[in-house]
Structure 1
């Protein structure tokens, strides 16, 4: 049964991944769009800390944790994201439903292996700027997807190392339409970029006992890498009909050089303490170099080094309780603060959020996880937009024992 579920889900999500518009954020206007969270739902509920390594929960953030798995794990997840966007004088709402990840991992002795698919970034904005003499409409959609293969080796009972090799690929399309008073027709510039490139992440995890407590230290590093960007541009005359649909004619292709987009180096380190199957609390810091998105030139936008700090953990009243199902539920929560690295109108764009969630055990070692995130990105100062967002996420994790030779048929 589990294999039928996996095959059906693989087919469904392989179709949806390449068609979705995974964000409505106006901040996806910049660079390669809104870079998505790359962990599982259970870690998202703990503010995104990627420290934990255990036998049944898959860690997508640190490949070193894979060698701790004892069962084959298939996991898939999605998120519903309603948001509210505010300026000093206006307010708008939008919502999106998006695919988060699909992944399979399995242990082979001291080795853990993992492969999967997830979005890397999403673009999805509609912005109107009007003055007394002209109006500009900005549209954008698309994004990058990531296929990854990862492995981990347990050097000792306490120390593991891992490697993740990811191939990022996708297409981003943006357009700007301008109408000037006294001019009969408007103009439109349509830009398309097809991007692809490899990203490598190394990881290490160290777990030891301090009296009766488990102490874990975790670190990952991704060196700077490049995305090859194949660019095209089209100019056209436009008008809008009564339904607001564009009428386009007199199109002209403009030669645009191909380019490279530099993804900055990233380093994370974190530590935590707890008791297995009872509770855990951890702290993680992330640092990222300055991005170079020179293929996208935007007025009043620049970039700086980014950073993030997260505090989170979980609590299980009694994981093996027979009399009470509520005592077997995992309760998770966390806080996150991030400097995104984007500067607009001389203002650094910050992102802060509170999270909580629940892990409900299913038959065997499988589980279903829910996460809720309430956050705020940006500010209404200096003519900017403040984004108040919510993320309702659900993830399924199926665990089974594969690749075991049966004694009896």
Structure 2
């Protein structure tokens, strides 16, 4: 157990020390950033499918999974303690009518633990980024830069959850999450000296608008899982999660800085800064929209599974008065995920690769963001493997995802992205009663 905990801590430190911004998407400018809390590497490798639950993997999306059934290996008398840590690398090609650029980001994704409490209860807690902001956008007229927009930060989430097995087939769970973090952004409108017959020259001093929002608030997530053998070999699994609408408090600051810009490197040097009174906008409440996810699938336990999941999020209720534009609107978001896994022989002693779990899936998502009357959609395909490591049931999960987000219509940006994800899913047996003294 000590070795496994040390391994988790080393992985956390390595991921966090290497991580920079959690995203490099220009669409993270809108709202409170790009959504990061989309599940574990196992979920994401199956197209984002989160309805499948078992006794050896943590499910970050459905708290009912904490009350997983006992393992036959443990004579139906015990469940393992499950803990996991994950991180990811993203590389994107941004394409617009004016050109294209390559961006990348590396981030820590989650740290979570789930443990049994008695016969029918399960408990879970964890820490993960909920949204991420990271962008640098520049507008040009000819060779002259006109505007520069930058943003960083995001919202993190710490949660506690409890699951309960109502029957052998049905479980219920509830998560309570504390959301916290900050978002910082800046905007510069460049001013030039126009001299007839010569190239435009930047004036010595430019003005930069700085905004910062410190965010905090609670929300709840409710989940149900159902599983039942419908034939001797086939099992039906279904899941439902519902997150009611909640609010998150935003304490806002705005200032203006006089800056000098290095003409070669573009680096900004602050000369002086003064704060601006925001009056009624100094403290605002942002709405976190309600979310419903429902799905089901069939499979052979410990062998294969295939499922479908639909999500609906009431993002039309969202607004951010501090960062808003006339060309932006929020509409209700929706998504569809299709995926599954296959394990040739989880109990094979002759072949390691037969014990490997192979995952694949695809998804389509209306993000709920509408810019210049163009809805921003996202599509992706994912693949992954679960590699057995260490002791019984522990594994390293690798996942890859390719897809696209956005459009080039109305001079918007199309993102072609590649994501690589890695996680450790470790299991051990605690609270075991000794048979002999």
TM-based fold match above 0.5: yes
Q: Distance in 2 between matches of 1:193 and 1:45?
A: 33
Q: Any idea what SS the aligned residue of 2:28 has? A: helix
| Pair 1:354-2:381 in alignment | yes
Q: Distance in 1 between matches of 2:96 and 2:418?
A: 18
1:178 to 168, 183, 189: 189
Q: Which is worse superposed, 283-292 or 7-16?
A: 7-16
Q: Distance in 2 between matches of 1:262 and 1:2?
A: 43
Contact 1:10 1:102 in 2 (8 A): no
User: By how many angstroms is 1:295 displaced?
Assistant: 2.9
Aligned to 1:101: 110
How many pairs are equivalent? 408
Q: Distance in 2 between matches of 1:388 and 1:169?
A: 30
Aligned 1:5-404 pairs, distance under 5 A = 5=6, 8-9=9-10, 12=13, 20-68=20-68, 70-108=79-117, 109-131=119-141, 135-182=146-193, 183-212=203-232, 213-241=234-262, 242-256=264-278, 257-289=282-314, 290=316, 291-362=318-389, 363-404=391-432
Q: Distance in 2 between matches of 1:32 and 1:146?
A: 13
* CA deviations over 1:165-205 (Å, ceiling 9, x no partner): 11110011000011122354221000011001111000111
User: By how many angstroms is 1:4 displaced?
Assistant: 4.0
Q: Distance in 2 between matches of 1:346 and 1:3?
A: 51
Q: Distance in 1 between matches of 2:242 and 2:175?
A: 10
Contact 1:314 1:331 in 2 (8 A): yes
Q: Distance in 2 between matches of 1:383 and 1:218?
A: 40
Q: Distance in 2 between matches of 1:119 and 1:406?
A: 40
Contact 1:120 1:143 in 2 (8 A): yes
Q: Any idea what SS the aligned residue of 1:403 has? A: coil
Larger radius of gyration: 2
User: By how many angstroms is 1:261 displaced?
Assistant: 1.1
Q: Any idea what SS the aligned residue of 2:190 has? A: strand
Q: Distance in 2 between matches of 1:220 and 1:88?
A: 40
Contact 2:8 2:85 in 1 (8 A): no
Contact 1:179 1:185 in 2 (8 A): no
Q: Distance in 1 between matches of 2:361 and 2:92?
A: 20
User: By how many angstroms is 1:406 displaced?
Assistant: 3.0
* CA deviations over 1:254-305 (Å, ceiling 9, x no partner): 0122111111000000011001011100000000002222332124111000
CA 1:301–1:320 in structure 2 vs 1: closer, same or farther (change >3 Å)?
A: same
Contact 1:261 1:295 in 2 (8 A): no
Contact 1:6 1:74 in 2 (8 A): no
Q: Unpaired segments of 5 or more residues in structure 2?
A: 70-78, 194-202
Contact 2:20 2:105 in 1 (8 A): no
Superposition TM-score, scaled by structure 1 size:
0.95
Q: Unpaired segments of 5 or more residues in structure 1?
A: none
Q: Any idea what SS the aligned residue of 1:311 has? A: strand
Q: Distance in 2 between matches of 1:286 and 1:234?
A: 39
Q: Which is worse superposed, 366-375 or 3-12?
A: 3-12
RMSD of aligned Cα (Å) = 1.9
Q: Which is worse superposed, 398-407 or 170-179?
A: 398-407
Contact 1:260 1:295 in 2 (8 A): no
Contact 1:272 1:282 in 2 (8 A): yes
